[in-house]
Structure 1
Amino acid sequence: MQERRTDPDPLDELLDHLTRSTPLSRGEAHRVVLDVLAFYDETTEEWVRRRHRELQAKGLTNPAIFARISEELPHRAVAPPRLSLRQLRRLVYG
């Protein structure tokens, strides 16, 4: 009988850590990791547009929104290049 070879999940080390350090089961930890990865999978453009909508819904004005987005961008998991306020506006309005 030939042994089936399966490639290890690239997340195995992280999943092992999470199941050791939290009360999450392996399945729960896997779902959480996939959800976090999906959250950070947004492009800069998608993130800026989504963040603009969120802040606009809170009643902030565009000058305040673009200043805040400009401050928040460098703190994303993979920081994009610094964007000017004009570039931010163009991402939202084209």
Structure 2
Amino acid sequence: MTFPQAPALPEEFDKLMRRMRLPYMRKAAPDVLATARAQRWDPAEVLRLLIAEEVVGESGRRDHATCALGSGASTPAPASQLPRNASR
């Protein structure tokens, strides 16, 4: 069984999510919005679901990056946290 494809996001909404760097939310938004319209969801539920999708996607990306570094490695400290007199 195939389902109809969700309509594309409005251009302004897509631009805002690209600018804010929300790739997981942008990917999920067309289906979530189509379902929300069809089922008459509360707007707060739509926002909760889209934000949760972004959080899950970002945490998965971080977990993947941590695994790629190896079990004993940690992420390097940002330059702003390095001592000022550190030798390079």
Higher relative contact order (CA closer than 8 Å, sequence separation 6+) = 2
Q: TM-score, normalised by structure 2?
A: 0.35
